[in-house]
Amino acid sequence: MAELNGRPVDMAELSALALTNYGHFTTLRVEDGRVRGLALHLDRLDRDCRALFGAELDTDRVRALLRRLAPADETATMRVTVFDPALDIGRPDRAGDPRILVTRRPASSGPLPPLRVRSVRYEREAPEIKSVGLFGALRQRRAARQAGFDDALFVGADGLVSEGATWNIGFLDGEGDSDGTVVWPRAPCLPGVTMRLLMAAHEHRVAPVAAADVGSSRAAFATNAAIGVRAVTAVDRTEFPAHHPAVDLLRETYAALPGDLL
C-alpha cells in the first residue's frame, strides 16, 4: 500500500523518485498503532529534510499520513520517504517542495536467525543522512551474500568498524554472562533509532572498534527498527555465540519499551 501526501501515488511520481534517487526516509515498525521511538523518527525526518531540501517538514502531518495506512490492531513495517517529484537533475538546487510518500508492508514475525557478516572497506556518502541512495550499500550486501555471508559490515579506511548495510552493530564487553557494557563503534555512521533507544536503556560506551580487534568482544548484535535486536554470529572468521544472555537481555529490553501512539 502506498500514498503520496494522503492520496494514491501515480506511476509518474514514483518514476521521478526512481530516476532521480534523491530523497530521504525512515522505516518504522508499527504495533497496534504504536511506534517505539516515534519522536526520534520524526526528528530525523525533519533534520534530513532541512539538509536535502532546505525545507521544514510538518511532522504532525507525517503522523496523520501514517495513521491513514497503519493497521489498527496488527504489526506492519511502514516507511516514510520524502522527495520532490518535480526535481530536475540539471538543477537540483531548485528542489524545495518535498512530498511525503508513505508505504506499508507486512512485518517479520518472531526472532530472525543470526547474521554472518563480511567486513568490507566502504563508507556511505553522507552517512549521517538516511538517504534513498542505497546503491553502494546494496552492492556491498550483494557481494557479501555471493561470498556466502548474510550481509556486509562497513569498515573505514582507518580500519574502524562503522555500521552495517542498513543497521547498526554493537559489541558486548565485560566479564558477566548477562550484563556487560555495550560498545557502539565511534565512526561515521547513521545513528539508528533502535540504537539510540538502547543507549538510553542499557549501560554503554561509544569507542573506536578496530576490525582487527573484533574478536576480543564476547558477543555482537545488529539493530534497526525493522529487526529490533538480531544476533551476529560471525564477522569474517571470528565466531560469536548464537545465543548469549546479554544479547537476549537487550532484545527483551527493547521489546518491553513502550511505543508512542501515532
The pairing of beta strand 260-261 with beta strand 34-35:
antiparallel
Q: What is the mean pLDDT of the segment spanning 4-11? A: 93
Q: What is the mean pLDDT of the segment spanning 220-239? A: 96
Is residue 139 pLDDT above 60, yes or no?
yes
> Would you place residue 69 in the very low, low, confident or very high pLDDT band (cuts 50, 70, 90)?
very high
**Domain covering 115-256: architecture:** Alpha-Beta Barrel (3.20)
CATH code of 2-106, in short, is 3.30.470.10
Question: Residues 216, 181: contact at Cβ < 8 Å?
Answer: no
What pLDDT, on the 0 to 100 scale, is given for residue 174? 64
What pLDDT, on the 0 to 100 scale, is given for residue 175? 57
Going from N- to C-terminal start, the domains of the chain cover 2-106, 115-256
Q: What is the mean pLDDT of the segment spanning 168-194? A: 86
How do residues 87-114 score in pLDDT, each as one tens digit?
Answer: 989 999 988 899 999 999 998 877 789 9
Coil, strand or helix: which one is 19?
Answer: helix
What pLDDT, on the 0 to 100 scale, is given for residue 59? 97
What pLDDT, on the 0 to 100 scale, is given for residue 17? 92
Identify the residue whose cell numbers are 518472531.
Answer: 110
